[in-house]
Amino acid sequence: MARRSRYTEYNEDLNVWQAFTDLMSNAFMILVLFLFLTIIISQITKDKNKPAQNSVTLAVKVKQLEDQVKYLKTKIKPEKQSTDTPPIIVIKDQGDYRFASGSAEIPAKMSIYILNQIVPEIEKRTKQYGINVVEIIGHTDGQANGKVISNLDVNLENVASGNLKVGKLQAGSNADLGLMRALSVVTVLGEIQKKQGKLSGLSFRAYSAAQLILPNGQFAGIARKEDVTRRRIEIRFTRLGEVQEVR
């Protein structure tokens, strides 16, 4: 009986430890499963937050760059205010650059002068002042231009388009002659722009002031005599604006 009792007690002790082992094993499995779930949930949350974090980081970097640009702008000193008045370039009608009487044909040396001296100056001024239009104005003295019949009304457009030489025009007045000479200079500048790639983006306009404006900008009085100081080509700079109708 004692043996039986001991055997029974022995088996009961064995059954307790087995149950305890099973319990610990199950607990370990649950703990491992919980750990895996925690890792997976953490990774999903991290991935969901990435776009937001990237957006925040990008916004911060953009703001930093904007601040740097603003700072650098304060350190840049403009060469010249674009609202200033550009200077007027004058080609005096004298010496090697003188037109023949009543003619608008440009002398060879004057063409070279325009290429080597005038064109670089035009490029410099147009960039400095933000100019896109160059006005060429022909001025004459007060001498009457004779009794030649003008043909500008018939041929002027052909000369401007390059289909006819300026020499084919006949001036019936100083207004005609001033326009013809201005158009000759425009033609030379246009050829330089087309063939040599200079004067990029510029438009040219030809005008005549006839004998009306003195070199000092004042209106001229009546003076029907030769005056070399009044004969000139003026090069002025302007910006092409929008057409506004005033009512």
Q: For each of the chain's 247 residues, which pLDDT tens digit applies?
A: 444 443 333 344 444 455 555 666 666 667 655 665 566 566 556 655 555 556 667 677 667 767 766 666 665 555 544 558 899 999 999 898 999 988 999 999 999 999 999 999 999 999 999 999 999 999 999 998 877 899 999 999 999 999 999 999 999 999 999 999 999 999 999 999 999 989 999 999 999 999 999 999 999 999 988 999 999 999 999 988 777 788 8
Name the helix (H) or strand (E) containing 135: strand 133-139
Contact (Cβ atoms closer than 8 angstroms) between residue 159 and residue 183: yes
Using CB atoms within 10 Å of the CB of residue 155, give its burial: 0 to 12 exposed, 13 to 18 middle, 19+ buried. middle
User: Dihedrals φ, ψ of 40, to 5°?
Assistant: -65, -45
Rounded distance between C-alpha atoms, residue 234 and residue 199, angstroms: 17
Predicted TM-score of the model (pTM)? 0.65
Rounded distance between C-alpha atoms, residue 20 and residue 10, angstroms: 16
